[in-house]
Amino acid sequence: MRKIDVEQIDNMAIGAAVLGTGGGGNPYIGRLMAQSAIRTHGPATMIDAAALADDDLIVAVAMMGAPTVMVEKIPAGNEVVVAFQMLEEYVGQKFAAVMCGEVGGLNSVVPFALAATLGIRIVDADGMGRAFPELQMGIPAINGARATPMAIADEKGNGAVLNTISNKWTENLARQLTIEMGCSAMVALYMLTGKQCKEWAILGSLTKVEEIGLAIRAAHAEHRNPVQAVCDITGGSLLWNGKISDIQRRTEAGFARGEAFIDGLGDYAGQQLRIAFQNEFLIAQTDDRVVATTPDLITMLDAETGEPITTEDLRYGFRVAVLGIPCDPRWRSPIGIETVGPRYFGYDIEYVPIEDRLTAAG
Amino acid sequence: MRKIDVEQIDNMAIGAAVLGTGGGGNPYIGRLMAQSAIRTHGPATMIDAAALADDDLIVAVAMMGAPTVMVEKIPAGNEVVVAFQMLEEYVGQKFAAVMCGEVGGLNSVVPFALAATLGIRIVDADGMGRAFPELQMGIPAINGARATPMAIADEKGNGAVLNTISNKWTENLARQLTIEMGCSAMVALYMLTGKQCKEWAILGSLTKVEEIGLAIRAAHAEHRNPVQAVCDITGGSLLWNGKISDIQRRTEAGFARGEAFIDGLGDYAGQQLRIAFQNEFLIAQTDDRVVATTPDLITMLDAETGEPITTEDLRYGFRVAVLGIPCDPRWRSPIGIETVGPRYFGYDIEYVPIEDRLTAAG
């Protein structure tokens, strides 16, 4: 058990955006929300999943929608609490703790806002070990966990509870509500028992993102290369160095979709890397080869500061380093690849683990 | 208190489609659903609103969506029960009775399917005295009744409970769910106390639609003009006689929208009437005058049989009589006209009561 105060949130928001692979929501806004709640209500209490009783009931909370929208349509702050409490009321039971649905700038720290506000514990775990754009995408889900009953709330005071026949239906219905609510909303979903959390969640992931954030700051302080520091702590590899030369971005079907084009610099001069995204970075390829694909993590860092760049912050002219980080091995199962592999997102590309792609590329 | 059996449903479905002004759902499908439930579970029990205790809690049920879709995507049958029971469970209270949200072919008789199946009473009343396309349109609503909490269920087993800040938000969010569910769904909404029902509902409207259906059948049996019989019993006036010469119809934003063109015959020869609809017939006009507008009822009957023709059944070549029927006087209040008048639907036309338009036209 550990108290998480405003300083830890600083580190976590940055580290989480590294694993968020462009998505998971704006870390700056998430940080403001979590720190504001902690300043008002005191630090949040983080526990290991091992501290849960097997029959405890916990739930994940997250932002749903297009991260590009949330930077303009700022949350009111209490909608995550409303969603959480709507679900508690619906199931007629208090939750023993909250967890993160995914890691990702905002979605790793917003649960701390809830935990601080309500004085409930937050589990050091998440459901993906990265961020993904759709609700049915999670390690608990591919093991059979149900997203519903789930609650959704907007900043105006509208809310709903969904009960569906599949997690894909939950995604489809909740996405339409999210779009109508203005393209961003807060959700409480994937109720798990303590036992299920211990078996299915990615354990220790919040501590991990905190360590990544700390590593970036330490590299700054010690004048070391922060990109290398991120590679070291995440097990990632440098895939590309370059300058963003074009971005095509649209808010479509409730997502931020598009492509970023990165003209190579140094070893990569004369070539261009294209990164396709749907909230998260999904596919990185040049004209003649696929460099990395979902579910492995494609992460873009500011080449100078090592700070992660999320989808909504992509800008022409940014000097960036692109990393590839191996995903949680459970994503590499047949059902994992079916759920979040390149073909699910419409790309006719075979999934090959990033390590193998790097070896093949020499 | 009266038992409603399969014969009464035959009459009600036809009579309700007269007041449904083209909308309210296909009477044939509604009849099959209600009669199937009555054959299995026995007759439904209909009561006057006066039989309700002031603090009884009742709720309306209805089909939501595009009637054009429901004739192809047939309901499974139990989704109205699912919606009703989801809402009961959500509010933690049993409803004392069910009522109709609107009159309209299907929406007047589907509540009988629910009443027969669950053995609960149905109130001889509805919320509009006609049909309208959107959820915020009802006499209880313009008096301050809230649509939420409401439940929505589809034929696949998906459902949701909504809680919103306004009835227009309920409409917007429920419409998106309906579209995603395949453009038709069943809803339970507008919980009223017995006292509110007695004050705000259109009382006796189910008996009235039954009488209209009976009048059409009696006219047939006695070789009288069925169109005249409908005018007599509804207080309506003949607006047009003609032949449908064109229909433009599209399923759009979760509604059946379009226009029907009726070439005049007899007294109306040489002129064309255009009727614009959004599920319901909203505006009837010729090149040089407005003949009738919402909220007054525009009803289309088969010129031969007097049977009502709903939006989804409009066909080229049909010989039709168009009637205008005065709406419930409460729709003519400022808030009524603001909610359902021509301007709400985007027509730059002043609302003039049908009686005055007829007098002016001589």
The helix/strand/coil state of A263 is strand
Interchain CB distance below 8 Å, B176 and A179: yes
Task: Find the residue in A nearest to B173 (Cα).
Answer: A177
Tally the residues of chain A.
362
Residue B256 pLDDT: 87
For residue A18, pLDDT beyond 90: yes
Contact B173 A169 (CB under 8 A): no
Which of A157, A158, A173 is the closest to B180 by Cβ? A173
Q: What is the pLDDT of residue B102?
A: 95
Q: Which residues of B touch A (CB under 8 A)?
A: 86, 90, 156-165, 169, 172-173, 175-177, 179-181
CB atoms within 10 A of CB B290: 17
Beta strands at B97-100 and B121-126: parallel, antiparallel or unpaired: parallel
**In terms of DSSP bridges, do strands A57-65 and A97-100 run parallel, antiparallel, or are they unpaired?**
parallel
Which one of B160, B165, B179 has the shortest CB-CB distance to A162?
A: B160
Neighbours of A276 (CB within 10 A): 21
Query: How many Å apart are CA A105 and CA A111, to the nearest integer?
Result: 11
Q: State how far residue B157 is from chain A, nearest Cα, in angstroms.
A: 6
Rg (CA), chain A: 19
Q: Give the mutation candidate from A161, A175, A181 for the B interface (greatest B CB count, under 10 A).
A: A161
Q: Which residues of A touch B78 (CB under 8 A)?
A: none
**Cβ pair B149, B91 in contact under 8 A:** yes
- Spell out the domain ranges in chain B: 2-205, 225-361
Compute the nearest-CA separation of B146 from chain A (Å): 13
**Which tokens sit at A206?**
């919040």
How far is the C-alpha of B337 from the C-alpha of B237, rounded, in Å?
21
Closest CA to A77 of A120, A106, A119, A48: A106
Q: Over the range B135-158, which residues count as b (16 or more CB within 10 Å of their CB) and which as e?
A: bbbbbbbbeebbbbbbbbbbbeeb
Nearest CB among A160, A165, A176 relative to B157 is that of A165
A129, containing H or E segment:
none
Contact B156 A169 (CB under 8 A): yes
For residue A183, pLDDT over 90 is answered with no
With b for 16 or more beta-carbon neighbours within 10 A and e for fewer, the B17-47 pattern comes to: bbbbbbbbbbbbbbbbbbbebbeeeebbbbb
Q: Which residue of B has its CA nearest to A160?
A: B162
Name the average pLDDT for chain A: 95
Instruction: Give the whole-angstrom CA distance, residue A186 versus residue A114.
Output: 11
CA distance B103 to B27: 11
**How confident is the model at residue A26, as a pLDDT?**
86
Interface test with A, best of B154, B166, B176, B181 (most A CBs within 10 A): B176
* pLDDT confidence of residue A234: 97
**Cα A342 to the chain's mean position, in Å?**
18
pLDDT in tens, A321-352: 999 999 999 999 999 999 999 999 999 999 99
**Pairing between β-strand A97-100 and β-strand B97-100 as defined by DSSP bridges:** unpaired
pLDDT for the residue numbered A67:
74
pLDDT tens digits for range A241-259: 999 999 999 988 888 899 9
Q: B165 and A156: CB-CB below 8 Å?
A: yes
What predicted TM-score, i.e. pTM, was given to this entire model?
0.91
**d(C-alpha B109, C-alpha B31), whole Å:** 6
Residue B164 and residue A157: Cβ atoms within 8 Å?
yes
If you classify domain A224-361 with CATH, what class do you get? mainly beta
**Chain B residue with minimum CA distance to A156:** B165
Q: What confidence score (pLDDT) does residue A253 get? A: 84
What is the number of CB-based contacts under 8 A between chain A and chain B?
59
**A261: enclosing H helix or E strand:** strand A255-264
How many beta carbons lie within 10 A of that of residue B311, not counting itself? 30
B162, B175, B180 member nearest A160 (Cβ): B162
User: What value of ipTM does the predicted structure carry?
Assistant: 0.87
Give the residue-averaged pLDDT of A203-216.
97
At the top level of CATH, the class of B2-205 is alpha beta
Nearest to B128 by CA among B44, B203, B51: B203
The full DSSP string for B237-294 is EEEEEEEEEEEEEEEETTEEEEEEEEEE-GGGTT-EEEEEEESEEEEEE-SS-EEEET
Of A159, A165, A173, the CB nearest to B163: A159
Contact criterion met (CB < 8 Å) for B173 and A163: no
Give the C-alpha separation, B205 to B124, whole Å: 6
pLDDT of residue A77: 78
CA distance A174 to A331: 24
Per-residue pLDDT tens digits for B267-315: 999 999 999 999 999 999 999 999 999 999 999 999 999 999 999 899 9
Classify residue A254 as left (phi > 0), alpha (psi -120 to 50) or beta.
left
**Is the pLDDT higher at A69 or at B339?**
B339
Task: Please indicate whether the domains covering B2-205 and B225-361 agree at the CATH topology level.
Answer: no
Q: Which residue of A has its CA nearest to B163?
A: A159
Structure tokens that stand for A249 in this block: 């971005």
Nearest C-alpha in A relative to B166: A158
DSSP A227: H
| CB-based contact A93:A117 (threshold 8 Å) | no
**Amino acid present at B102:** E
Q: Tell me the pLDDT band of A75, cut-offs 50, 70 and 90.
A: confident
Q: Which residues of B touch A76 (CB under 8 A)?
A: none
Question: DSSP character for B24?
Answer: S
Spatial CA neighbour of B198 closest among B119, B140, B150: B140
Six-digit token string for A195: 């036992």
* Bridge partner residues of A4 (DSSP): A44
Q: Is the pLDDT of residue A68 over 90?
A: no
Q: Which of B165, B173, B181 sits opposite A157 (nearest CB)?
A: B165
Which stretches of chain B drop beneath a pLDDT of 70? 71
C-alpha B175, offset from chain centre: 17
Interface test with A, best of B85, B156, B161, B169 (most A CBs within 10 A): B161
pLDDT digits (tens, 9 = 90+) for A259-278: 999 999 999 999 999 999 99
Identify which of B160, B163, B169 has the shortest CB distance to residue A163: B160
CA distance A273 to A281: 12
Q: What's domain B225-361's architecture?
A: Beta Barrel (2.40)
Closest residue to B177, CB basis, from A158, A159, A177: A177
CA distance A74 to chain B (A): 19
pLDDT-derived band of residue A358, with 50, 70 and 90 as boundaries?
very high
| B180 neighbourhood in chain A, CB within 8 Å | 172-173, 175-176
pLDDT at residue number A72: 74
Residues written for chain B: 362
What's residue A113's pLDDT? 96
* Interface residues on A facing B, Cβ-Cβ cutoff 8 A: 86, 90, 156-165, 169, 172-173, 175-177, 179-181
Structure tokens at A313: 């912050």
Residues 6+ apart with CB under 8 A from A7: none
CA terminus-to-terminus distance, chain B: 44
Given a contact cutoff of 8 angstroms between Cβ atoms, the answer to whether A40 and A93 are in contact is no
Buried b / exposed e across B173-191, counting CB within 10 Å, b at 16+? bbbbbbbbbbbbbbbbbbb
Residues β-bridged to residue B184: B65
Local confidence band at A214 (pLDDT 50, 70, 90 cut-offs) = very high
| Other Cβ atoms closer than 10 A to A49 | 24
**Which of B157, B163, B175 lies at the smallest CB-CB distance from A160?**
B163
CB B120 within 8 A of CB B31: no
Instruction: Using pLDDT thresholds of 50, 70 and 90, give the confidence band for residue A25.
Output: confident
How far is A213 from A230, CA to CA, in rounded Å? 9
3-class DSSP state for residue A143? coil
CB contact under 8 A, B164 and A165: no
The nearest alpha carbon in chain B to A154 belongs to B164
Predicted local distance difference test score (pLDDT) of residue A27:
87
CB contact under 8 A, B158 and A181: no
Integer CA distances (angstroms), B22 to A30, B225, B272, B303, in order: 50, 21, 19, 15
Beta pairing class for A272-278 and A290-293: unpaired
Q: How far is B91 from chain A (nearest CA, A)?
A: 9
The amino acid present at B335, given as its one-letter code, is: I
Residue B99's closest CA among B48, B65, B64?
A: B48
Structure tokens that stand for B223 in this block: 């070789």
Q: What is the DSSP code (8-state) at residue A308? A: B
